[in-house]
Structure 1
Amino acid sequence: METKFILYFFDLLGGAVFAISGALMAGRKQMDLFGVLVLAGVTAMGGGTVRDLLLDKDVFWLHDINYIIVILVSALGTVLLKRFFEITNKVLLIADAFGLAFFSVLGTAKALSFDFSPLIAIIMGVVTGVVGGAIRDILCGEVPLILRKDIYATAAVLGGSIYSIFIFINVSPNVSLIVALLSAAALRLAAIKWNLGLPVFNLITNNEADKKLK
């Protein structure tokens, strides 16, 4: 199977998963249907849009209506499924984890395809993976996951790094893609399951914390 088709398939799949996470967040905030579609759209397209603008390339969804269709179907399907199934916050986090994995690796792959350096490609992968979710969280009045102590952007860096290294040492692009996707998703899912996080930079002393409590 051609690598180009596989990348395109996973790009659409990543958009669907991120659209679902956006729709679920809208449900948590009790938004109307328009709000659901807005959150699904910004979550699925926000990161890739910023990436393409930074790379000075055509914005991907302006030239391919399939992305819009996938987002609409995913968002509306989520609304319908909610009528029949109980959807917990953990489902939202899992959907977001897979969206992060797909987009961080695919964003890296796209930057490499335009002959950017591996470091820039990894950064573009992180942008692709985290910006849409960050916009979603900000619109909902939440602290973005990327700014919390959770292992989040680290998973995006891992996926992009593995893909870049494998391509550099001439591993098959398809194998590189699958290994990188699974690695990024596994790290993020492990962080969710076992509540793993990075060390926190804390300037508040114990005395200051006590004063706040009083």
Structure 2
Amino acid sequence: METSPLVLWFDLMGVFFFALSGNLLAARKDIDITGGFILGLLAGLGGGIIRDVLLGVTPLALDKPVYLVPPLVAVVVVYLLGSVIHRVQTLIVACDAAGLGLFCTFGTARALDHGMPVASALLLGVVTAVGGGLMRDVVANEIPAVFSGSNLYVIPAATGATLTAVAVSTDVWGPVSATVLSVLVFTFRMTAWVRQWRVPAPVRSWTVRDLDVLRRRERSVFDRPRGARYDDDEYDDELGRRDDRDPGDSRGRGPRGRR
């Protein structure tokens, strides 16, 4: 299966979309073109390299030089059109979601093709989908989408990996099912981002005062879309209103900072 033109084509598409998200993020952060190329390489090739190293095979990105073409194309596209599109937050998230859908499905299928157990194949499918984006965000000093806590990211990838394993085991895996699953994951991820579906916090019933407002000040590019409940100015206004209130609270404590 790994030599199939279909697999190669879809994998290169995933590399391109992730590389495009890396270059758009670089443009948004005013990083130069070489830095954008590095972010594109990390985003587009990082997850696949991690997967193949864990599988014990030569990474496709190193075995086939054609994998360097999508990051180069992404650099050129952003260089020519970046002044128009680099501030469009939705486009960055959409490219990331497209890469997520393609990589989680084909990463899982590749792992199964190498004889991995289903559970391991699911894990490698998710790693393929989120690994490159994680490396991109860490290098760009961005809160990784995996850890932002603002919307679903790993769950759409895990869903796509699971459905891919079902498709392979039932012999319905093919061009049509691969496309449908990739589109499904993309739609799931974008819907979760727009509607702000979230998973529970790591600790139930957080009680730290102003935690949510303060956290919103450090917004990730993958955080809630514009037009959602708050924007940056409203965060500062809300925090300022709280600071202007009576420093004592209903339990008779002193001014904030005095405990």
TM norm structure 1: 0.91
**CA-to-aligned-CA distance 1:137-178 (integer Å, 9 cap, x gap):** 111112211112221011111111111101112214223312
- Is structure 2 residue 82 aligned with structure 1 residue 82? yes
In structure 2, list runs of 5 or more residues that go unmatched.
Answer: 215-242, 244-255
| 2:170 partner amino acid | I
How many angstroms apart in 2 are the aligned matches of 1:17 and 1:204? 38
* Greater relative CO, 1 or 2 (CA 8 Å, sep 6+): 1
CA distance in 2 between counterparts of 1:127 and 1:50 reads 8
* 1:108 partnered with 2:108: yes
Alpha-carbon deviation of 1:87? 4.2
Preserved CA contact (<8 Å) 2:28 2:87: no
Which structure has the bigger radius of gyration? 2
Aligned equivalents of 1:172, 1:11: Cα separation in 2: 15
Q: 5 Å matches for 1:23-42?
A: 23-42=23-42
Map of 2:170 onto structure 1: 169
The alignment's TM-score, normalised by the length of structure 2, stands at 0.76
Instruction: Give CA deviations for 1:39-72 in whole Å, capped at 9, x if unaligned.
Output: 0110001101111111111011112111102211
% identical aligned pairs? 29
More off after superposition, 135-144 vs 75-84: 75-84
**Number of the residue aligned with 2:232:** none
Structure 1 pair 113–28 and aligned structure 2 pair: CA distance change class (3 A): same
Instruction: Tell me if structure 2 keeps the 8 A contact 1:162–1:176.
Output: no
Equivalent position amino acid for 2:41 in 1: G
CA contact (8 A) 2:33 2:75 kept: no
Secondary structure of the corresponding residue to residue 146 of structure 1: coil
1:45 and 2:45 aligned? yes
By percentage of residues, which structure has more helix?
1
Q: Root-mean-square deviation (CA), in Å? A: 2.0
Does the C-alpha gap of structure 1 residues 200 and 112 become closer, same or farther in structure 2, counting only changes over 3 Å? same
Match of 1:155 in 2: 156
* 1:185-211 Cα distance to aligned partner (Å, 9 max, x none): 1110111221212121236742x4269
Q: How many residues align?
A: 211
TM-aligned CA deviation for residue 85 of structure 1: 4.6
